[in-house]
Structure 1
Amino acid sequence: MKALVKTRPEPGLELVEVPMPTVRPTDVLIKVRRTGICGTDLHIANWDGWAQANITTPLIVGHELCGDIVEVGAAVEDLEVGMFVSVEGHYVCGRCRACLAGNRHLCIKTRGIGVQIDGAFAEYIAVPAGNVWVHRHDVDPDVAAIFDPFGNAVHTALQFNCLGEDVLVSGAGPIGIMAALVAKHAGARHVVITDLSDERLALATSLGIDTTINVARERVKDVWDHLNLREGFDIGLEMSGAGPALREMIANMTHGGKIAMLGIPSQEISLDLAKVVFSMLTIRGVYGREIFETWYAMSVLLQSGLDISGVITDRFSHTEHEAAFAAAASGGSGKVVMSWDDWPPPPPATRGRRHERPPA
């Protein structure tokens, strides 16, 4: 089968022929339809310092996927060939304190596909049956492919009750935009999103986020009067990992405000902790998704009318992986999805974000 592999400890990925994965008794084999490109994949492709410290080559990369079950292990009883599924990419030990308490997302021994384990950028992948999420209602395959980052957004946005609250989101990347959409869908009064990219802020506006701020030109405090805010924001969703964004968020929170922090800083951040203390702020770190409580929430949100499909701005065949990764690294795109189906790519003049969606 074909797979996109980090073959050597150096920049770049190669589309090469690899053996079919082994299907253990507790596994299922999935024919991959679509995959999404994540920031982690960009780190691995670029072979930056993080990748050099955490990745062992050779490795099939990728962890955002959907596909169809084509083989079921002998010990699997509740899954069937033909089911359309997405995959929880975090493998947990099942025996640590958190796992035994039912908090698998807190497993201290978590391993990830496409990072510690061969991943999803391939024609087929074998995964434990316990990591499979079955789509039991119609879901666009492109959307099903990004359930992993959608889960990050939902997990973050629902850390605190948004109903009737004023929500500030820092970072208008795909996950930040999805988190803003979730907060709005969950009944927030005002949702404001900030970024440095006009293109990404324009995407957020086009998807229904009413107030956007380019913090290179405008301060968050400048929108208070427009939104009739008197004391600050009730909830903050920090999705950027940027020190200035977190400091600006803290400065604009009301007393007793709550911040959910998903963004991963690339270096230490200095904070005015006196502001945190005197304003009695809560700052909660967020990682991954609750397995599988967040997945239930994702499916229900889609069934209740939330539309995240617009956050996908670029579609490519897996044979165009270099162009796909370039789009994902551009800083102005939303989610980038690669197809592993046998659909013919469009002519060169229509590639990238102008792709017609391939057939489901």
Structure 2
Amino acid sequence: MKALYKSGAQPGFELVDRPEPEPGPGEVKIKVMTTGICGTDLHIQSWDSWAQSTINAPLIPGHEFYGEVVETGDGVHNTKVGDRVSGEGHIVCGMCRNCRAGRRQLCIHTVSVGVQRDGAFAEYVVIPETNAWIQDERITPALGAIFDPLGNAVHTALKFPVTGEDVLITGAGPIGLMAAAVVRHVGARFIVITDVSEPRLELAQSMGVDLPINVARTKIRDAQQSMGMAEGFDIGLEMSGHPTALPEMIANMNHGGRIAMLGLPASSIDIDWATVVTHMLTLQGIYGREMYETWYAMSAMLQSSDWLHDAISSVITDQLPAGDWEKGFEAARNGVGGKVVLDWTQL
């Protein structure tokens, strides 16, 4: 099969022939149709310090995908050949305290598809049946490929109740944009999103955002006043990881405000802990998706709302044949568009 391959501890990928994986007990083999390019994949391609400390090459990367089940291993009971599926990329042990208590997203032995084991930038991938999410016919291959990052957005957006609340989102990348659409769908009052990319801020308006802010030119507090908000934001969703985003968010939260943090900081952040304490703020880290409540939630929302289905689909701004993967990675790296999807039926 054709696959993007990192043959060793160095930058770059190669599109090469690799042996097809075979399903073991409890596993399914999927013919990959589409894959999304994630920031994690960019780190692995560039072989930065994070990748060097995390990845054991050789490796086939890729963890956002959609495809068709073509073979099942022994002990597979609920997934059948021909099912169209997306994949939950976190494979858990099932035996640690959190797994046995039903909190699988907190498993201390998690193995990630495309990070610690071969992934989906290939014509075929193998995952446990428990990680295959069967999709309905309304989910297109492109939309099915981004259920992993959509799950990140839904997990973050729904961590705290947002109905009737004023929400500040820092970072209008693909996950921030999807989170904006989700909190609009569930009934937030005012939604403000920040970034420095004008194309992304323009796209945010179609996500139901009331006010996109270019923070290179406008302060959040000034925008807040322009909307007639007498108090600070009730809910903050920090999606950027930028070192200035969280301190600015904290400074603009209402007393008792709650912040969900998905963005991974690349450096240390100086936080005004006195404000956190005296304003009684809650900071909650978010990683991945709740397994599998987030999957049920996002599937149900997309089934029940044509607007949300179309809004999330519009975050996909680039679709390319997998053979043009280098162009796809360049588009993902430039940070001005939305989600990039590669089509593995075109090589």
Output the TM-score relative to the length of structure 2: 0.97
The one-letter code of the counterpart of 1:121 is: F
1:313 to 292, 310, 317: 317
Indicate whether 1:336 and 2:340 are aligned. yes
Q: Which residue of 2 aligns with 1:79?
A: 79
Map of 1:327 onto structure 2? 331
SS of 2:212's equivalent in the other structure is strand
- Taking the aligned partners of 1:239 and 1:225, their CA distance within structure 2 comes to 23
1:93-151: CA deviations, max 9, x gaps? 10000000000000011110110000010000111101110113421111110000000
CA distance in 1, matches of 2:178, 2:196: 17
The count of residues paired between Structure 1 and Structure 2 equals 343
Give the secondary structure class of the aligned counterpart of 1:59.
coil
Q: Give the CA deviation at 1:333.
A: 1.5
Query: CA shift at 1:304, angstroms?
Result: 1.8
Q: Select between 117-126 and 206-215 the one with higher mean Cα deviation.
A: 206-215
Q: Deviations over 1:224-267 (max 9, x none)?
A: 23322111100000001112110110000000000000011111
Note if contact 2:180-2:207 (Cα within 8 Å) is conserved in structure 1.
no
Measured in 2, the distance between the counterparts of 1:190 and 1:137 equals 33
Pick closer, same or farther for the CA change 1:292–1:137 going to 2, 3 Å. Answer: farther
**Matching residue of 1:283:** 283
**SS at structure 2 position matched to 1:4:** strand
Secondary structure, counterpart of 2:302 in structure 1: helix
User: What do residues 72-108 of structure 1 show as CA deviations (whole Å, max 9, x unaligned)?
Assistant: 1121111111001000000101000000000000001
In 2, Cα distance between equivalents of 1:236 and 1:289: 18
Per-residue deviation at 1:208? Answer: 3.1
**Higher deviation after alignment, 116-125 or 137-146:** 137-146
Specify the alignment match of 1:228 in structure 2: 228
Alignment of 1:239-250 (within 5 A): 239-250=239-250
Question: Structure 1: which amino acid aligns with 2:329?
Answer: F
Question: Within 5 Å, which residues of 2 pair with 1:124-273?
Answer: 124-273=124-273
Structure 1 residues 220 and 149: alpha-carbon distance in aligned structure 2, compared to 1, 3 A threshold: same
Structure 2 residue 36 is the aligned partner of structure 1 residue 36 = yes
CA contact (8 A) 2:319 2:342 kept: yes
Aligned to 1:114: 114
After superposition, what is the alpha-carbon deviation per residue over 1:267-309, rounded to whole angstroms, capped at 9, x for unaligned?
A: 1111110000110000000110011110000101101211301
Aligned Cα RMSD in Å? Answer: 1.0
| 8 Å CA contact retained: 2:321, 2:343 | yes
Percent of aligned positions that are identical: 57
DSSP-derived class of the 1:329 partner: helix
2:268 maps to amino acid = E
Q: What one-letter code is carried by the residue in structure 2 that aligns with 1:7?
A: S
Q: 8 Å contact 2:180–2:208 — kept in the other structure?
A: no
Question: What code does the residue aligned with 1:42 have?
Answer: L
Alpha-carbon distance in 2 for matches of 1:132, 1:184: 28
Q: Secondary structure at the match of 2:264?
A: coil
Question: Aligned partner of 2:250: which letter?
Answer: I
Provide the residue aligned with 1:6 in structure 2.
6
- TM-score in terms of structure 1 length: 0.94
Can you give the 5+ residue segments of structure 2 that lack an aligned partner in the other structure?
A: none
Q: Which amino acid aligns with 1:107?
A: C
